[in-house]
Chains A and B, each alone.
Chain A
Amino acid sequence: MEKKLPPILEIRGLQISFKQYEKGFSQTELEVIRDLDVCVPAGEIVAVVGSSGSGKSLLAHAVLGILPYNASVKGEILYDGEALTEKRVKRLRGDEIVLVPQSTAYLDPLMKTGVQIRKGKKDAASKERLHQIFREYELKQEVEEQYPFELSGGMTRRIMNATALMGHPRLVIADEPTPGLHISVTRRAMEHFRELADMGAGVLLITHDLELAVETADRIAVFYAGSTLEEVPALAFQSCDTLHHPYSRALWNAMPKHGFQPIPGTQPYAREMPQGCPFGPRCPKYTQECSEKIPWRQTGDGRVRCIHAEEAQ
């Protein structure tokens, strides 16, 4: 297994901060994503798993260049081995790079759904493809002629998934594509992502749902309070012993089927981020060194950002 081609998407040391006013006149930079690394090779599904408020949706927005006006970005975003500049992303998005968004408010309320999904294309092939996708997503034919407000939440979501999959994208970014969907439809969507990956696309799946990620993804990046803490093959989540970071292990233990055991504490808010390892204050293995910058460390088929990882094995 030699990897000669550069990965479709590689993100190194991504930082996103927001300029905000405090009380009165002073402005501060609120750092929401502090240190995010993720790599999406062609033909693979990579899941970024993190809880709400960890800033993971911003990752999708940063790649697509649609962050709000008061955000600033540092770090590298490489697409096909080259920096993804604002100009380049404008040319590529919607075509080579597609987003399956989180909010159902992304559909144009004044356009019939069928037209939106075909992106205005009227040729026979597009129409045929549309029908095929509708069948796969259990959507009725008449939905094509309906406007978004006539659809239920679950239907809207299925349509957004369908929209992304119409063309032949090389990079699919799915931001929480399935909440509120029934398990069978969720599976169908995931199969679809798999098909796209098999055709050579890279899929970046951003989700809070660890179980879903373990089931569908090839690799999983564990994301916590603005940093990636561990990156492992999805198989590593089969057992607690193949996980290295204490946070990943805590996640594993908290799965309902593994005992549903909580650890105390909460993810720190961006304004009170501890120095060094963000998990430090909740970590049983916390030592003085954890408050310094934590380097990546290779662990077999993955990597982890924890200086106590070896003891954890």
Chain B
Amino acid sequence: MKQWNRRKATVLILVISILFLVTVAAAGSQCSDAARATDFSRKNLLPCLEYPFGTDWMGRDMFARTLKGLSLSILIGVLAAAISAVIALVLGICAATLGRRADGVITWVIDLIMGIPHMLLLILISVAAGRGLKGVIIGVAFTHWTSLARLIRAEVMQLKESPYVKIAGKLGKGKWYVAYRHILPHLLPQFAVGLVLMFPHAILHEASITFLGFGLTSEQPAIGIILSESMKYLVLGKWWLALFPGLALVVTVIMFYLLGENLRRLIDPNSAHE
């Protein structure tokens, strides 16, 4: 059958978004110097062929700066989301398996973190952890794991009670056998989707706190820095300074979101056969 169907569409979107993200990340890391190079002979240029995103008041190439900023964001997003997902996995499984007291404590922590306004906590942690790249990664990682942890906890609890897990116990199978053979196959897809859907959040939040001045330092051309600097020039009619970096950020986030959402639809039995 050569028909167009949801699975093919999904894989196409998957490939496109991965390609886009990898390209941006790779290109960005190649133009660190270009992003910082100032040249007053070409300042405040409108977008043109040579400088597709224009240049700023110091004559820096906005295209290179945006690429560099995005690759920084992607790096931070992926790292922070990965750490966050591991925290979620460990705590979720602990809550479900280590008895009532451990569950009580972990659930309490989850509720606590979810109860504090997200940005506030993010800023607090990242400032406490010493700002900069490290601070942001730690801040984002420690604030994003809660809902995935809840999901994993619920899933493991349900699996633990399922007849086939109980039967395996009576057949003399140990905890590790059950965890590896019965629980893991159910958890992995959930975990993967949760991880990928965490990327866009992580990236947006990184950009937000950097924009507010609590994140990366101003020497680094992060998207948040670019946007906050461009703010001052917006009133002077230099619209391109904020528009293109902003759009690029939105596109990146959407790409990650599409990736996760399509993965989820493939795995969810309610839409798996569409």
Contact = CB atoms under 8 A, between A and B. Distances in A.
Query: Direct A–B touching in the complex (beta carbon < 8 Å)?
Result: yes
Interface in B252-274: 270-274
Interface string A135-160: 00000000000000000000000000
B4 to A, nearest CB: 10
Interface in B1-41: 1, 3, 5, 7-8, 11
Contacts of B8: 25
A261 interface: no
A27 interface: yes
A85 to B, nearest CB: 24
Contacts of B270: 69
Contacts of B1: 26-28
B5 A25 contact: yes
Interface string A1-38: 00000000000000000111100111110000000000
The A contact surface, by secondary structure, is strand
A70 interface: yes
Contact of B273 (A20, A24, A25, A26): A20
A25 B274 contact: no
A26 B8 CA distance: 9
A18 B272 CA distance: 12
Q: Which secondary structure dominates where chain B touches chain A?
A: loop
A25 B2 CA distance: 9
A70 B273 contact: yes
B7 A69 contact: no
Given A26-B1, A27-B1, A19 B273 contact: yes
Nearest to A69: B274
A65 B270 CA distance: 17
Nearest to A29: B1
Report which residue of A20, A25, A70 has the largest number of chain B beta carbons within 10 angstroms of its beta carbon.
A25
Nearest to A26: B1
Name the residue among B11, B271, B274 with the largest chain A CB count within 10 angstroms. Answer: B274
A25 B266 CA distance: 12
A70 B274 contact: yes
Nearest to B271: A69
A25 to B, nearest CB: 5
Contact of B7 (A18, A25, A28, A70): A25
Contacts of A27: 1, 3, 5, 7, 273
A21 B274 CA distance: 9
A161 B185 CA distance: 39
B74 to A, nearest CB: 29
B265 to A, nearest CB: 12
A24 B8 CA distance: 9
Contact of B272 (A21, A24, A25, A28): A21
A18 B11 CA distance: 22
Contacts of B273: 18-21, 27, 69-70
Q: Which one of B270, B271, B272, B273 has the highest number of Cβ atoms from chain A below 10 Å of its Cβ?
A: B273
Nearest to B3: A27
A6 to B, nearest CB: 36
Contacts of B272: 21
Nearest to A27: B5
A84 to B, nearest CB: 25
Interface centre among A21, A24, A69 (most CB of B within 10 A): A21
Nearest to A24: B7
Contacts of A25: 5, 7-8, 11
Contacts of A24: 7
Interface string A64-78: 000001100000000
A26 B5 CA distance: 9
17 contacts: A18-B273, A19-B273, A20-B273, A21-B7, A21-B272, A21-B273, A25-B8, A25-B11, A26-B1, A27-B1, A27-B5, A28-B1, A69-B271, A69-B273, A69-B274, A70-B273, A70-B274
Interface of B: 1, 3, 5, 7-8, 11, 270-274
Interface of A: 18-21, 24-28, 69-70
Given A21-B273, A27-B1, 6 more contacts: A21-B7, A25-B8, A25-B11, A28-B1, A69-B270, A70-B274
- Top 3 nearest A-B pairs (CB, nearest first) are A70-B273, A26-B1, A25-B7
